[in-house]
Amino acid sequence: MKIDRHGQAKILTAEEIQFLFNEGATLNPPRDRALFAVMLYTACRVNEAVTLRIRDVLDRFGSVRSVVLFRKGNTKGKLATQSIPVLEDLRKYLTDYHPPKWANYLFPGRHGKGDITSDATR
């Protein structure tokens, strides 16, 4: 939503953020809360959040890591990474969410083929 801020998106108020966590109408509340929490607490974009792999957030025992690892490709084909510490509030939402056992992505698509699309997050 753009409102006369010279092309910048509207900034959510604390009340709007709380509404999204508590009452946002979704089909999968734990997943959607975890997705929104990842974006809120790491300041990443939707596309960065939906392309996270399970191993970037959870260890091999299923526990939340101390950092979220964002992988970024560059034009030379090399992989760059960025580690963002996991705050306790984010840890709570990630712990409450259990991705499907068959998934590679933290937020898999409906049919298990790749990540959830950024359009599906709207």
pLDDT in tens, 4-43: 556 677 788 999 888 888 776 677 788 889 999 999 999 9
How many Å from the N-terminal Cα to the C-terminal Cα in the chain? 11
Pair of tokens at residue 65: 């890591």
Query: Which secondary-structure segment (H or E) carries 27?
Result: none
What pLDDT digit, counting tens, does each position of 71-86 carry? 886 666 677 889 999 9
Over the Cα atoms of the chain, what is R_g? 15
- Cα separation, 45 vs 55, in Å, equals 19
Specify the amino acid at residue 62.
G
Q: How many CB atoms lie within 10 A of CB 42?
A: 20
